[in-house]
Every structure is written in C-alpha cells, then in structure tokens.
Structure 1
Amino acid sequence: MKQRLAELEAKQKKIPEEYVTIQHSPFSKEILAELLLEKLKMPHLASYEGGRDPVRHLDQYTSWMEFQEASDAIICRAFSLNFGDRAMRWLKKTTTTFPSKVGMTS
C-alpha cells in the first residue's frame, strides 16, 4: 500500500503545472454546478491576451452572453474560454476561489 501511494505521488509530481482539474478550479462550487444552456453560443471575439483594454473585452463578452440569457455563473465560468495562452496561464495559477456571482467581491 505504501509503495502504491509513493507511485501515485511520483506520478502526480509529473503532471504539468498547466493542467487543472475541477478539484483545482478557482471557481466556487455554485459556479461549477450551474448547468450550461443547451444552445449557448460563444461570442466571436479575439482571444484575450492581456494587451488590449480588459474592460472593453469584458463588456463585449458580457453583452453577448446576457443577450443569450446566460446566468451569472455561466457568464463567469465560460469567460475563460475566451482567454489566450497568457491569460489562461494566469487563471490556472490562481489559487483563490472566485466569487460565486458576477460583481461579488470576497
């Protein structure tokens, strides 16, 4: 049993830092539990890399998602699908749990 545990721990150390599972997700349980809309269509925006105006990008994204009647939780959770490599690396390194609703702070 100890040997098997040691093997699993060794394997875990080999997992790339970029790999994130639900257990390591920065999203709250409420956000992760929200069901996706069956016909949800993501906006056709350029991936956010951090170089452009983040407020403008967020406004465009939020307007599209609200038009589709997506919940705050889905708007929050799906936003990372619009991230480029640099922004995605930042998200995956985040250890703080995000608020459970858009506009909430801690």
Structure 2
Amino acid sequence: MGDTPRREEDPSRQTEPVVQITRSELRRLMEEAGRNALVQHERRTVNPLGREVPRRRLFKEKEIEEQPEQLEEASREEPAKGNEAEGSEIGSSERERGKRREPGISRAEVDDVGRQIERLRKQIDELKRRGEIVSQNRNSPFSNKILTEVVDPSFRMPDLPKYDGTKDPQEHVAAFELVMNLYGQSSAINAKLFVTTLTGKAQEWFTSLPSGGIETFEQLIQKFTFHFASKRKQKISHLSIQHLSKRG
C-alpha cells in the first residue's frame, strides 16, 4: 500500500489572532446584543399606526398651545364688533331722533324762496340785457358804466328845446339842468337824456367822439361847452355901451 499523499497547507493562509476577554466583558456584550435584537424585533413587528401616535400627540400639543392665542384674538374682536354694533344702533337712533325733530316747511318759507328765485331771475335778465346793450353800442362815446344804466320805461322825457350847434351852449345846458333837477335822475341817465336833445351839427359832434371816452355827465357837459364855445353870446359891458353911444 502506498503512503497517503501529504496535504499541503496554503502558505497564504494566516492564522487569525486570538482575542482574550474577561467574563464581565462577555456578559456586557451579550446584554447589548440582546437589546439590539429586541429593538430590531420591535421595528419589524410594531403597527404602522402606532408610529403615528407620537406625531399626532405632537400636533395636538401644538394645537393646544395655539388655542389660547386664537381665543385671545377672538375675545378682542368680539368687543370691537359689539362696539360697532352699539355705535350703529346709537347712530340710527340719533338719525331717527333727528328726523323726528326736523320741522316741516311752512307756506311762508316756500313763498320766500319763490320770491328769492324770482329776484335772481330778474337780475340775470338784467345782466343779459345790459350785456346786449354794451355789445350793440360798442362804438358809443359813452363808457360801459353809462351804457349799462337803463332809463325807467315809465319815465316821460320832458319837452326840451333842441340844440343844433348854432346857439349858446351854456344856455342849452342851463335849461336842461333846470328841468332835469326836478326828476332826480342819476348822472349816467342825465348824460343819456342830454344827448337826445342834440341835433344837426351838435349830434354829429357827439358821434365823432372816441369810443368809451365819456364816463360822467359832468365830463360830457365840459366837452360840449368847450367845443361850441365860439357860439356863446358876447356880454356887453357898461363901458362898451358908453363907447357905442359916443360913436353914435
């Protein structure tokens, strides 16, 4: 019988080192391994809903913490709404009392308002009429102050002599003022009425005056007497009479 072939050992294989531990360390390692195994078992077997319990508990705790703040805000808003409601009730009651206190409009007040409206309408018509007068007499020697003065329709012009530019202007002015002083007309009205007594050359003179240059009756008379001054009567003195008598 041949010899059994000898088994050769792998030279690359190395002997593992031997670790020596005490009994207390071995016991500690066993307890730690048992706890780890228990934890792994609980993780595999626990109900999924069970894992949500801590999370739900956390949310509930947050809701409980937020509820006092919400209640506090609600408590602040409710008095404000109450005050608004109370204010609206007070305002409505005051308005109702105001409505009850408002007196009715009397017939006299209505008539007074009607009279005021009528006066206002007349004033507007008067302003329109004056504006039309000014526009129609744009080339008149009278200023707007005189043009806007209107002669009363009930006024009757007295019978005054006409002036044609051939007589004494002062005599014509004196006759006009003597009569018109009885009627008490304004300066503007007297100026308008005086022009109606002019005719012929005198009327031509007036219409040739610059537009809007005459503002008063006195100014008109001054211009009138100055222009026709050559027509004034010469007063004969006592010495002139004696001189004429000696010549005769």
TM-score by length of 2: 0.32
Q: 1:88 & 1:70 partners in 2: Cα distance?
A: 22
Counterpart residue identity of residue 76, structure 1: A
CA deviation string 1:9-57 (max 9, x = no partner): xxxxxxxxxxxx5010000101001121233222322210111111111
Q: Does 1:99 align with 2:214?
A: yes
Bigger RCO (CA 8 Å, 6+ sep): 1
**1:22-33 mapped onto 2 (5 Å cutoff):** 22-33=137-148
Q: Give the alignment partner of residue 48 of structure 1, picking from 147, 160, 163.
A: 163
Q: 1:60 & 1:39 partners in 2: Cα distance?
A: 23
Number of matched pairs: 85
Task: Give the 3-state SS of the residue equivalent to 1:103 in structure 2.
Answer: helix
More helix by share: 2
Counterpart residue identity of residue 91, structure 1: F
**1:62-101 mapped onto 2 (5 Å cutoff):** 62-95=177-210, 97-101=212-216
Identity in percent: 26
TM-score by length of 1: 0.69
Counterpart residue identity of residue 62, structure 1: E
Give the deviation of 1:99 after TM superposition: 3.4
Contact 2:164 / 2:199 at 8 angstroms: preserved in 1?
yes
Q: Give the alignment partner of residue 35 of structure 1, picking from 138, 141, 150.
A: 150
CA deviation string 1:66-85 (max 9, x = no partner): 21111110001111110112
Contact 1:26 / 1:95 at 8 angstroms: preserved in 2?
yes
Q: 2:211 & 2:140 partners in 1: Cα distance?
A: 9
Q: 1:98 & 1:67 partners in 2: Cα distance?
A: 28
Contact 1:42 / 1:65 at 8 angstroms: preserved in 2?
no
The structure that has the greater radius of gyration is 2
Give the deviation of 1:59 after TM superposition: 1.3
Q: 1:97 & 1:56 partners in 2: Cα distance?
A: 27
Unaligned runs of 5+ residues in structure 2 are 1-135, 223-248
